[in-house]
């Protein structure tokens, strides 16, 4: 709990010194491959087979204050989507607690549970896969507020029109099906669906990754505008550092299930502390740097099935020391509002 | 230009280009009408140089690459133009001759390496086959060459990895194998279609590093097709920006990116989130790419253009705009509001 309290006090603005909207306290999530028939039969005959266990998220704590935009970056398989789903309440953690406005979501009364479920919404990467192809847009956007009784049936139509207008879609198109829209428009429908239940917090999981650059800019601008109009809080998950840098106030960097660095956006991009963050920032092609020699960090991302012992990054790290191979570095505060998990900080 | 380029060894613009595409036109004749996927595209690429072909979905950049190798399937058809490879027209060539060039002198790297790799054959089998298809050497020589190619693209312990199947490689490693296969017959030209788009940032960095090195050391001509201006800015020498099947702007990469002339290029660059404009709204291009079946007459961009005037509805040619630069816009003197 102490970590969460610290994080919360460090980042909450004085005016909103209230509880963080969502906080994670030492959250882990494992995925275990269920035993198939063959394995169970083999088990009957005494063969013992190690179960396949992936720790997608390992011991993660952080807090998100009201009105904040937190970016979450990492490469494929680092657990950022799993973390996003845990924050949105779509996936329970295997260990640890998720707190919604200071209360453990497991202990919430039914009314509070509902407030959490509606208050935290999610926008997904692939709008084609996250919209029911057999439902009309009016139904996709209007269903949840009607079912939850947020909008009287008579005003349902007006509510849908209003939501579509807010995301920049023509309300006259609401009788259409998702396949009749372009990728950017479909993503807008997904955003309208999330907004329709009046959330305070939206988890955006690679919400602009599938879009062309010019359309991506339109949708990013929409996210920024909606944040102002509705006073929203975002957890913005992306592999694209440029996008995260543009929208976030604060950034979390994940590597193989662990948060390795956390810092205000400006500080992170100006002076990354963790060697992984440094490597990641160096690799990002930038339009404003001009011709340059690419260097490439050595090695591959290890399999999450068999992560290296100690610091997960040590096999690729240019600064690896003996201690890095045996001991996992804790995520400690290195400056006000900044945390990093690297033994170099202790050595310095 | 960076100091990483050795002065010698690189082709100069005065040479005969490795590839010269002239007025290439590829149409798809569908039931709904003729889709002009590539509509009069011309460019050249010299040895030792990288040409970036940039555009968004549906701009015709991939079809351009496929047309060069003759990979366009019906209902698609190349209806006009010339593709001169070292002076020889690929479109006028007998099929046997084309077959000898394709995969040997010209190689292609696809976005998805599994388009190159057969999932049920060992890497070794596939690589040896590629060598033997073009050259009468014995198996052992072919195998040696395959092993060397894997080493060149930075695959550790190439001898063991030759015995592996594609599914035993990670995405980045598979893309390296695809690049190694492209290199096997020592091509003069490689066409790379979004080869790093599906990869993680750190792996993309590794691949770009290998590609830069190869282009430098082997004096290859490279066409890099992508939607990502940032990748091209660090890699390419020349840049062609495509929109709705046409090149709308071309020139040396630094010049185009620092002083873009076409409103689409300006909009595209403004759309890229960058540290200079953090927190401010991104400049966005209004609207979306018009469907290729219903392109407006004249400039295809005019429905989204901030500087549109009445004469934009007439046919706009690609106009010269300074040394080595062209632009398909007749109002470049009009300022685009930032």
Helix H, strand E, coil C: the string for B50-108 is EEEEECCCCCCHHHHHHHHCCCCCCCEEEEEEEEEECCEEHHHCCHHHHHHHECCCEEE
> Distances from the Cα of B220 to the Cαs of B11, B216, B264, in angstroms?
9, 7, 30
Distance CA A309, CA A256 (A): 12
Beta bridge partners of A236: A71, A204
Over 60: is that where the pLDDT of B3 sits?
no
| Mutation target among A69, A74, A213 for the B interface, most CBs of B within 10 A | A213
> Distances from the Cα of B317 to the Cαs of A80, B39, B61, in angstroms?
48, 12, 19
Q: Which parts of chain A have pLDDT scores under 70?
A: 1-17, 48-50, 288-293, 295-297, 347-348
Pairing of strands A250-255, A69-73: parallel
Chain A partners within 8 Å of B268 (Cβ): 213-214
Boundaries of every domain in chain B: 14-105+191-201+220-338
Which is it for the CA torsion A317, A69, A238, A60, positive or negative? positive
Domain span holding position A77: 2-287+294-347
Asked if the Cβ–Cβ distance from A288 to B56 is below 8 Å, we say: no
What's the rounded mean pLDDT across residues B188-204? Answer: 84
Order the strands of the B326-327 sheet from edge to edge.
B106-109, B189-193, B221-226, B50-54, B238-243, B246-252, B326-327, B319-320
Q: For chain A, how many structural domains are there in total?
A: 1
Distance CA B65, CA A192 (A): 38
What pLDDT score does A199 carry?
94
Distance CA A29, CA A291 (A): 42
Contact A251, A265 (CB under 8 A): yes
CB within 8 Å of A37: residues ≥ 6 apart: none
Topology (CATH level 3) of domain B14-105+191-201+220-338 = Rossmann fold (3.40.50)
What pLDDT score does B276 carry?
55
Beta bridge partners of B36: B27
What pLDDT score does A194 carry?
93
Chain B partners within 8 Å of A216 (Cβ): 271
What pLDDT score does A311 carry?
92
Distance in Å, alpha carbon of B57 to nearest chain A alpha carbon: 7
Mark which residues 265-294 of A lie under 8 Å from B by CB. 265-266, 269, 279-280, 282-294
**DSSP assignments along A176-203, one per residue:** S-GGGS-HHHHHHHHHHHHHTT--SEEE
Beta-carbon pairs below 8 A across chains A and B: 149
pLDDT band at B173 (very low <50, low <70, confident <90, very high): confident
CATH at residue A147:
3.40.50.300
**Considering only alpha carbons, which residue of chain B is nearest residue A265?**
B278
pLDDT band at B45 (very low <50, low <70, confident <90, very high): very high
pLDDT band at B200 (very low <50, low <70, confident <90, very high): confident
pTM to 2 decimal places: 0.81
Task: Find the helix or strand (DSSP H, E) in which B271 lies.
Answer: helix B263-271
The answer to whether A221 faces chain B, any CB pair under 8 Å, is: yes
CB within 8 Å of A342: residues ≥ 6 apart: A260, A273, A274, A275, A311, A329
Distance CA B229, CA A214 (A): 12
Distance CA A160, CA A275 (A): 47
**pLDDT for B256-311, tens place per residue?**
998 999 999 998 888 888 655 666 778 788 877 777 888 888 888 888 888 888 88
What pLDDT score does A17 carry?
53
Distance CA B96, CA B83 (A): 17
Distance CA B296, CA B293 (A): 9
pLDDT exceeding 90 applies to what percent of chain B? Answer: 36
> Distances from the Cα of B101 to the Cαs of A114, A267, A301, in angstroms?
65, 53, 37
Mark which residues 68-127 of A lie under 8 Å from B by CB. 75-76
- To 5 degrees, how large is the angle CA A113–CA A229–CA A61? 45
Mark which residues 231-250 of A lie under 8 Å from B by CB. 239-243, 245-247
What pLDDT score does B238 carry?
93
Over 60: is that where the pLDDT of B242 sits?
yes
């Amino acid at each position: 709990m102490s970590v969460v309290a610290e994080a919360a006090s460090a980042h909450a603005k004085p005016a909103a010194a209230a509880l963080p909207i969502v906080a994670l306290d030492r959250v882990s999530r494992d995925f275990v491959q269920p035993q198939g028939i063959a394995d169970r039969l083999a088990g009957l005959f005494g063969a013992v087979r190690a179960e396949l266990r992936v720790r997608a998220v390992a011991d993660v704590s952080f807090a998100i204050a009201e009105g904040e935009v937190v970016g979450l970056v990492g490469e494929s398989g680092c657990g950022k989507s799993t973390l996003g789903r845990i924050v949105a309440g779509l996936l329970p953690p295997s260990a640890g607690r998720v707190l919604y406005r200071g209360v453990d979501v497991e202990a919430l009364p039914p009314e509070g549970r509902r407030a959490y479920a509606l208050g935290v919404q999610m926008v997904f990467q692939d709008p084609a896969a996250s919209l029911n192809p057999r439902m009309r847009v009016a139904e996709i956007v209007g269903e949840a507020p009607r079912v939850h009784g947020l909008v009287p049936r008579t005003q349902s139509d007006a509510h849908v029109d209003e939501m579509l207008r807010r995301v920049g879609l023509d309300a006259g198109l609401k009788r259409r099906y998702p396949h009749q829209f372009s990728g950017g428009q479909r993503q807008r429908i997904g955003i309208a669906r999330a907004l329709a239940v009046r959330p305070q917090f939206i988890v955006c999981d690679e919400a602009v990754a599938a879009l062309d650059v010019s359309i991506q800019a339109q949708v990013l601008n929409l996210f920024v505008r909606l944040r102002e109009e509705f006073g929203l809080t975002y957890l913005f998950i992306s592999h694209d550092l440029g996008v995260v840098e543009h929208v976030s106030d604060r950034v979390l960097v994940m590597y193989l299930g662990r948060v390795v660095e956390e810092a205000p956006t400006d500080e992170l991009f100006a002076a990354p502390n963790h060697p992984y963050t440094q490597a990641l920032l160096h690799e990002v092609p930038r339009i404003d740097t001009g011709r340059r020699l690419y260097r490439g960090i050595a090695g591959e991302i290890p399999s999450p099935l068999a992560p290296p012992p100690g610091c997960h990054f040590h096999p690729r790290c240019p600064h690896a020391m003996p201690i890095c191979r045996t001991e996992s570095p804790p995520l400690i505060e290195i400056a006000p509002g900044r945390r990093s998990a690297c033994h170099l900080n202790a050595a310095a | 230009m960076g100091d990483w380029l050795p002065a010698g060894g690189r082709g100069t613009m005065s040479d005969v280009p490795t590839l010269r595409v002239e007025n290439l036109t590829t149409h798809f004749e569908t039931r709904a009408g003729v889709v002009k996927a590539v509509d009069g595209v011309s460019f050249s690429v010299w040895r030792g140089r990288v040409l970036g072909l940039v555009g968004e979905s549906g701009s015709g950049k991939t079809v351009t690459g496929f047309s060069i190798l003759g990979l366009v399937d019906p209902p698609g058809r190349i209806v006009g133009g010339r593709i001169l490879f070292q002076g020889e027209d690929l479109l006028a060539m007998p099929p046997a001759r084309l077959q000898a060039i394709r995969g040997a002198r010209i190689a292609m790297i696809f976005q998805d390496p599994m388009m190159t790799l057969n999932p049920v054959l060992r890497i070794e089998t596939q690589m040896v086959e590629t060598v033997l298809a073009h050259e009468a050497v014995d198996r052992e020589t072919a195998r040696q060459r395959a092993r060397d190619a894997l080493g060149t693209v930075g695959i550790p312990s190439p001898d063991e990895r030759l015995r592996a199947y594609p599914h035993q490689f990670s995405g980045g490693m598979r893309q390296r194998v695809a690049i190694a296969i492209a290199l096997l017959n020592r091509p003069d030209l490689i066409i790379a279609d979004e080869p790093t788009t599906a990869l993680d940032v750190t792996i993309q960095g590794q691949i770009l590093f290998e590609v830069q090195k190869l282009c430098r050391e082997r004096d290859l001509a490279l066409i890099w097709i992508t939607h990502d201006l940032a990748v091209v800015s660090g890699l390419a020498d020349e840049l062609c920006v495509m929109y709705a099947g046409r090149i709308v702007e071309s020139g040396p990469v630094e010049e185009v990116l620092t002083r873009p002339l076409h409103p689409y290029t300006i909009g595209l660059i403004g759309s890229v989130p960058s540290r200079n404009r953090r927190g401010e709204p991104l400049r966005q291009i209004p609207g979306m790419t018009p469907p290729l079946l219903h392109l407006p007459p004249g400039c295809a961009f005019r429905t989204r253009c901030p500087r549109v005037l009445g004469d934009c509805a007439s046919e706009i040619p690609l106009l010269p705009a300074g040394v080595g630069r062209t632009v398909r816009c007749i109002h470049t003197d009009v300022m685009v509001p930032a």
